[in-house]
Structure 1
Amino acid sequence: MSLDAFIMGISFILIHLFANKLIPSKRIHRLKWFSFSGGLAVSYVFVYVLPTLHKEQILVKKYGDYFTMESELYFIGLIGVLIFYGIQKIVRKAQLNNKTKKARTLFWLQIGFFGIYNMLVAYTVISHDVLGIQAIFYGLAVGLHFVAVAHDLWREYADIYDKVGRYVLALGIIAGWILGVLVTLSPLIESIIFAFISGAMILNVLKYELPPDDEAHFITFAIGVISYTTITMSLKFFFQW
Structure 2
Amino acid sequence: MSLDAFIMGFAFILIHLLANELIPSGRIQRLKWFSFSGGLAVSYVFVYVLPTLHKEQMIVKKYNDFFTMESELYFVGLLGVLLFYGIQKVVRKAQLKGNQSKARALFWLQILFFGIYNMLVAYTVISHNVLGIQAVFYGLAVGLHFVAVAHDLWREYSDIYNSIGRYVLALGIIAGWILGVKVHLSPLTESIIFAFISGAMILNVLKYELPPDDEAHFPTFAIGVVAYTSITMSLKFFFQW
**1:91 alignment counterpart:** 91
Q: For 1:44-123, list aligned pairs within 5 A.
A: 44-123=44-123
Deviation at 1:196, TM superposition (A): 0.1
Q: Which residue of 1 aligns with 2:166?
A: 166
Measured after TM superposition, the shift of residue 64 of structure 1 is 2.9
Aligned pair 1:3/2:25, yes or no? no
User: Partners of 2:207 and 2:122 in 1: how far apart?
Assistant: 22
Q: Which amino acid aligns with 2:188?
A: L
Q: Structure 2 matches for 1:108-187, cutoff 5 A?
A: 108-187=108-187
Q: Distance in 2 between matches of 1:34 and 1:192?
A: 30
Separation in 1, partners of 2:47, 2:153: 27
Q: Please give the TM-score of this superposition, normalised by the length of structure 1.
A: 0.99
Ranges in structure 2 where 5+ consecutive residues have no aligned partner: none
* Percent identity over paired residues: 86
Superposed, 1:17-32 pairs within 5 Å as: 17-32=17-32
Where in structure 1 do 4 or more consecutive aligned residues deviate above 4 Å?
none
2: distance between equivalents of 1:209 and 1:227?
Answer: 17
Structure 2 CA distance for aligned equivalents of residues 71 and 62 of structure 1: 13
Q: Shift of residue 209 of structure 1?
A: 1.4
Q: Is 1:219 paired with 2:205?
A: no
Q: What are the superposed Cα offsets for residues 95-120 of structure 1, whole Å, 9 maximum, x if unpaired?
A: 11110000000000000000000000
CA-to-aligned-CA distance 1:133-159 (integer Å, 9 cap, x gap): 000001000000000000000000000
Matched letter for residue 139 of structure 1 = G
Q: CA deviation at 1:65?
A: 2.7
Q: In the alignment, residue 167 of structure 1 is paired with which amino acid?
A: Y
Between 1:150-159 and 1:61-70, the stretch displaced more is 61-70
1:206 Cα deviation after fit? 1.0
| Matched AA of 2:124 | T
1:39-82 Cα deviation digits (max 9, x unpaired): 00000000000000000000001333320000000000000000
In the TM superposition, residue 87 of structure 1 has moved relative to its aligned partner by 0.3
Q: C-alpha offsets along residues 9-32 of structure 1, whole Å, 9 cap, x if unaligned?
A: 000000000000000000000000
SS at match of 1:42: helix
Q: Which residue of 1 aligns with 2:34?
A: 34
Q: CA deviation at 1:211?
A: 1.2
Q: Which amino acid aligns with 1:130?
A: V
Hey, what does 1:188 align to over in structure 2? 188
Hey, what's the Cα distance between the residues in 1 that align with 2:79 and 2:147?
A: 24
Deviates more, 1:145-154 or 1:60-69: 60-69
Letter in 1 for 2:32: K
Once residues 113 and 64 of structure 1 are traced to their aligned partners in structure 2, the CA distance between those partners, rounded to angstroms, is 30
Q: Distance in 1 between matches of 2:60 and 2:156?
A: 39
**Partner AA of 1:109 in structure 2:** L
Shift of 1:222: 0.2
Coordinate RMSD, CA, aligned: 0.6
Gaps of 5+ in 1: none
Tell me how far apart the structure 1 counterparts of residues 199 and 168 of structure 2 sit (CA, whole Å).
22
Between Structure 1 and Structure 2, how many residues are aligned? 241
Aligned to 1:207: 207
- Match of 1:130, SS state, is coil
Aligned to 2:12: 12
Secondary structure of 1:65's partner? coil
Q: 1:53 and 1:199 mapped to 2: Cα distance?
A: 10
Residue 236 (structure 1) aligns with: 236
